[in-house]
Structure 1
Amino acid sequence: MIHVFKTSVKSEKQVSLVGAFLNILLPYEAWNFDLEDTDRILRVETVDLMPETVITILNSQGFECNELE
């Protein structure tokens, strides 16, 4: 399943910061950011991840994050 999130991540530097946490806390999940999109999309491909986990990770780093329907 692919979860899509709208974020406030704006730069590659911020992606690296958040990515370090995503890689540690979600080691088996594939993820990527689309900073070209106006919603600065984060896509996470997973089997059983709860979207709230991703939202909590980004929020704890000071970024906004909401799952898109």
Structure 2
Amino acid sequence: MSNFKNSMIEVFTTNIENEFQAEKIIEILEKNSPHIKIDFDLSETEFPYPCGHTILRVEGTAINNQHIISLVKELGFLCDILEDKLCKSE
């Protein structure tokens, strides 16, 4: 991540599956919120969402969580703030 002064980081879980989808999401989020830095961790697990997920990381001095979630969902993907939770294998 960059070194934004007084920045905060918010982490979201998504069901975005590949680099092409991630790049489109980043493009739209940056257009709507140019003051934030965005990246993805596309490592997935074998569990279903939300335990099997990809990570959307957002850094900036002002992050509007609901706006980000809304934009990602409007594009047809799941998106939630990452919560501390344990996922059990079935």
TM-score, with structure 1 as normaliser: 0.90
**What amino acid does structure 1 have at the position aligned with 2:26?**
G
1:37: Cα distance to partner?
4.4
Aligned match of 1:11: 18
2:12 and 2:44 mapped to 1: Cα distance?
Answer: 12
Q: 1:44 aligns with which of 58, 64, 67?
A: 58
Structure 1 or 2: larger helix share? 1
Structure 2 gaps of 5+ residues are: 1-7, 46-52, 84-90
Matched with 1:68 is: 82
Task: Report the 3-state secondary structure (helix = DSSP H, G, I; strand = E; otherwise coil) of the residue aligned with 2:67.
Answer: helix
Answer with 1 or 2: which has the greater Rg: 2
Size of the aligned set, in residue pairs, is: 69
- Identity among equivalent positions (%) equals 35
CA contact (8 A) 2:12 2:80 kept: yes
TM-score (norm 2): 0.71
- Given residue 13 of structure 1, which amino acid in structure 2 is its aligned partner? F
Distance in 1 separating the partners of 2:76 and 2:43: 20
Letter in 1 for 2:14: T
Unaligned runs of 5+ in 1: none
Q: Deviations over 1:4-53 (max 9, x none)?
A: 00001000110121112011001110110000144200000121222101
CA RMSD of aligned residues (A): 1.1
Runs of 4+ in 1 over 2 A off after TM superposition: none
